[in-house]
Amino acid sequence: MYTVTDAFYGDLKADVDQDAGVVELSGPDVPAVEIRRLVPARAHAHVPIGTRQAQQLGVRIDGRRAVITPGPGELRRRTYRVDLTWDQHHYQLKPNSSATSRLVRDGRQLADFSVDGDGDFIVYWLATRDETIAADAAVGYALSLAFGTGAHTMIGMILSGIGALLPG
């Protein structure tokens, strides 16, 4: 378990157990979030939670069930988005660069999240503190930890693959 400090919501406790397939996030000013892989084996090694299959995931926010629908994470950047519905709000975490993903609630752009393999975050809030709710931070951090942030474009992946084949 480690602490992440958010500019709007202060210190948040984060715990990621990739082997067990569990991401937990909590804090004094945000609802607790738990994302759990419901099957024992990791299906996708490059996904921290271990799967992108909605039926293999359980999500609870503030003790209440949420509905999660991750994209398949294929060639196009937009397939890496994650949709989540909770408490009459619809969230999307969708890649907007190779390293960052944008959090959107009910069509409103809230923040850009970037997390590295060690759990270090850079979060840039696009909305003001008064335009956000505590669940926004909790959902954004938890989804980022569970699925990672950012995705390459198809052109970027092709160019990277070509570059890897060149000598030198």
**pLDDT tens string 137-148:** 999 999 999 998
Strand partners, 37: 57
pLDDT at 154 over 50: no
Split into its structural domains, the chain has a count of 1
- Can you spell out the DSSP letters for 91-137? EEEEE-SSS-EEEEETTEEEEEEEE-TT--EEEEESS-GGG--HHHH
Q: What is the pLDDT of residue 91?
A: 98
Does the pLDDT at position 13 exceed 90? yes
Range of the domain at 57: 2-165
- pLDDT tens by residue, 43-102: 677 789 999 999 999 999 999 999 999 998 876 777 889 999 999 999 999 999 888 999
Q: How far apart are CA 34 and CA 39, in angstroms?
A: 15
Checking if the pLDDT of 150 tops 80, the result is no
Q: What is the pTM of this model?
A: 0.89
CB of 112 within 8 A of CB of 124?
Answer: yes
The model's pLDDT over 108-119, given as tens digits with 9 standing for 90+, comes to 999 999 987 777
Name the nearest CA neighbour of 6 among 118, 138, 105, 150. 138
Percent of the chain with pLDDT over 90: 69
The per-residue pLDDT for 162 is 52
